[in-house]
């Protein structure tokens, strides 16, 4: 499969975005939001074709499924992006040198952003919106699981782009086959950065095989530590929300770390999870504390592999720790540097946790479910980066820019 002409067209289209005014971009985003709502029935019909090919108990099913409410929420996110100020042209630093040269460090687009993603059709809307707002063209490679949905969505977006006089190649959807993935991974000179969104397997594959620079949006192996001084009411609400709000997303809770002196409170702490049908994988100390009070069919002894697993389902590992140090060590060994939380009333423990945990988002007395671009006030997100180069955490508008130095002189030459 020769996709070079496609990549060339997108690269050429990216240059035209520099000529498009911010007002036009905002009008396009608002029009895409309106078109998404107007074409809800069409999008849902196509989404149903994808859903029919996937088992409802597949962890990816919830991510794949669209609804009128979800499309409305997507439209609201698009409007939020339109309302945000563009970072393009922002002056990061400005200075005059002794030789008279005037230097400015200015935000600019990355260029062409490639996205490889699995069964997440909402990503198609999010990526196009954030890229347009930041002057980037995008090449999207969705999975076969969501191909009907993605093609429906991109057709709606292309119709709006054409109506507003923009080249539709600024948002290119590749075929859903493996050959297209291979071509995108090798698109050196055409794609400036590649961002995978999906399972750890997908992310590892992209990182290991891409010749294009990659920003990892890693899997979320998420912990919450219930400290010796943790407030039981706060803990119940936080753990229940982090685990059950939406189990298929990367900020959902995978492992509860509980201080050994709070094992007596474990049945009360986890009672809401029993009502939600959460299967617990409890360690050798937590299991006896729960046996007989947590439903037997939802309780089983933990295996070593349960710790460090991203469940993406109604399952939770429970680990007993002796102190904060042991909790920090466990997170360092088994976490994915995504989101981690502590429930504590000890100010010193909270500060130490916030400072010591190496993750993109670290919480004290709050649910990890907030790790989300829209929740962080970014309008939407292109992914949650778990690496440290260029961007970390929810990637919004600023994270889709680079910078360049503008140097103004009056004839200076260097000796």
Question: How many degrees, rounded to 5, is the angle at CA 163 between CA 374 and CA 27?
Answer: 35
Query: What are 216-237's pLDDT values in tens digits?
Result: 886 789 999 999 999 999 999 9
Q: Which residue has the tokens 């993935």?
A: 181
Query: What are 302-352's pLDDT values in tens digits?
Result: 999 999 999 989 999 999 999 999 999 999 999 999 999 999 999 999 999
Q: How far apart are CA 361 and CA 114, in angstroms?
A: 24
Strands (E) in 150-252, as ranges, are: 171-173, 193-197, 222-226
Instruction: Kindly indicate the confidence band of residue 179, based on its pLDDT and cuts at 50, 70 and 90.
Output: very high
The better pLDDT of the pair 113, 384 is held by: 113
Are residues 25 and 48 in contact, defined by beta-carbon separation less than 8 angstroms? no
Helices 147-163, 22-38: inter-axial angle, 10-degree rounding:
130
Closest C-alpha among 155, 21, 133, 104 to residue 397: 133
Closest C-alpha among 207, 186, 222 to residue 363: 222
Query: What are 111-168's pLDDT values in tens digits?
Result: 999 999 988 899 999 999 999 999 999 999 999 999 999 999 999 999 999 999 999 9
Q: Which fold has domain 4-215+395-408?
A: Aldehyde Dehydrogenase; Chain A, domain 1 (3.40.605)
Residues belonging to the chain: 415
Helices 122-133, 22-38: inter-axial angle, 10-degree rounding:
170
Q: What are phi and psi of 301, to 5 degrees?
A: -65, 140
Mean pLDDT of 278-289: 97
Question: For the chain, which residues make up each domain, given as ranges?
Answer: 4-215+395-408, 222-370
Are residues 127 and 142 in contact, defined by beta-carbon separation less than 8 angstroms? no
Dihedral, CA atoms, 344, 255, 142, 146, nearest 10 degrees? -110
Q: Which fold has domain 222-370?
A: Aldehyde Dehydrogenase; Chain A, domain 2 (3.40.309)
Q: How far apart are CA 81 and CA 130, in angstroms?
A: 7
Q: Which residue has the tokens 């910078």?
A: 403
């Amino acid at each position: 499969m020769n996709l070079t002409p496609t990549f060339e067209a997108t690269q050429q289209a990216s240059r035209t975005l520099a000529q498009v005014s911010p007002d036009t971009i905002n009008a396009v985003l608002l029009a895409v939001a309106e078109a998404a709502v107007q074409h809800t029935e069409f999008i849902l019909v196509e989404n149903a074709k994808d859903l029919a090919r996937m088992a409802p108990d597949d962890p990816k099913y919830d991510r794949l499924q669209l609804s009128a409410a979800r499309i409305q929420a997507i439209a609201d996110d698009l409007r939020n992006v339109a309302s945000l100020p563009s970072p393009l042209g922002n002056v990061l630093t400005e200075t005059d040198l002794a030789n008279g040269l005037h230097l400015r460090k200015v935000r600019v687009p990355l260029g062409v952003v490639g996205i490889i993603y699995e069964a997440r059709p909402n990503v198609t809307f999010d990526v196009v919106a954030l890229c347009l707002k930041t002057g980037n063209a995008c090449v999207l490679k969705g999975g076969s699981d969501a191909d009907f949905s993605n093609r429906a969505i991109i057709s709606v977006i292309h119709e709006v782009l054409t109506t507003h006089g923009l080249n539709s190649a600024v948002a290119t959807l590749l075929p859903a086959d493996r050959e297209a993935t291979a071509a995108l991974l090798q698109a050196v000179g055409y794609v400036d950065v590649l961002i995978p969104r999906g399972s750890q397997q997908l992310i590892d594959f992209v990182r290991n095989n891409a010749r294009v620079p990659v920003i990892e949006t890693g899997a979320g192996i998420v912990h919450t530590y219930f400290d010796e001084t943790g407030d039981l009411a706060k803990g119940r609400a936080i753990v229940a929300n982090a685990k059950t709000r939406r189990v298929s997303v990367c900020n959902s809770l995978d492992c509860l770390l509980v201080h050994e002196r709070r094992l007596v409170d474990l049945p009360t702490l986890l009672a809401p999870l029993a009502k939600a049908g959460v299967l617990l994988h409890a360690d050798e100390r937590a299991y006896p504390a729960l046996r007989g009070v947590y439903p037997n069919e939802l309780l089983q002894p933990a295996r070593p592999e349960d710790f460090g697993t991203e469940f993406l389902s109604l399952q939770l590992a429970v680990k007993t720790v002796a102190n904060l140090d042991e909790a920090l060590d466990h997170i360092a060994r088994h976490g994915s540097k995504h989101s981690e939380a502590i429930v504590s009333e000890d100010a010193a423990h909270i500060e130490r946790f916030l400072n010591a945990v190496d993750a993109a988002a670290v919480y004290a007395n709050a649910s990890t479910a907030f790790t989300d671009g829209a929740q962080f006030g970014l309008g939407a997100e292109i992914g949650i980066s778990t690496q440290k180069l260029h961007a970390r955490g929810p990637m919004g508008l600023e994270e889709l820019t680079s910078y360049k130095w503008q140097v103004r002189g009056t004839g200076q030459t260097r000796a």
